[in-house]
Amino acid sequence: MATAPIAPTPSVSASATSSLKLDDLLRVLLTELTNQDPLKPVDNKDFMAQIAQFASLDSTQQLNQNIETLVALQSVNQSVGLLGRTATALTDSGSVTGKVTALSLAGSAPTLTITPASGASVVGIAIGQLQTVL
């Protein structure tokens, strides 16, 4: 039984597609070959197109992983550059202005500690909470 080339549909979540590997997709292709109708074999062009799609999907997944790593490293670089600078951040309890005195790299994103002139440090400020940096 000949089938159309397999392509991810827009309804497939990113986590579901990211768990697929090229080997998994090649197994699907092999199963398709094994179970095809001998009286109506699939054209070689169709198989080559499917293999090209699988290779493209694998390359795209690797590119996405590399971009995620790059974004994380860029976030760390930006955070390190803020140490010792005066910044204003919006927190749940209001706005806080002071010197960036510490950087925490624990967790998925770097967080800052801002120490205002009054001396009560505010810990766990995300870069997205910053309003101004002097």
Q: Report the distance separating Cα 20 and Cα 60, nearest Å.
A: 12
* pLDDT tens, residue by residue, 90-119: 888 888 999 999 888 887 788 899 999 887
Residue 88 has pLDDT above 80, yes or no: yes
Q: Where exactly are the structural domains of the chain?
A: 14-78, 83-133
* pLDDT tens, residue by residue, 23-48: 777 787 788 778 777 777 767 777 77
* Alpha-carbon distances, residue 104 vs 21, 73, 125 (angstroms): 34, 14, 10
Provide φ and ψ at 115, rounded to 5°: -110, 110
Q: Specify the pLDDT at position 57.
A: 82
* pLDDT tens, residue by residue, 5-20: 444 444 444 455 456 6
Based on C-alpha coordinates, what's the Rg of the chain? Answer: 25
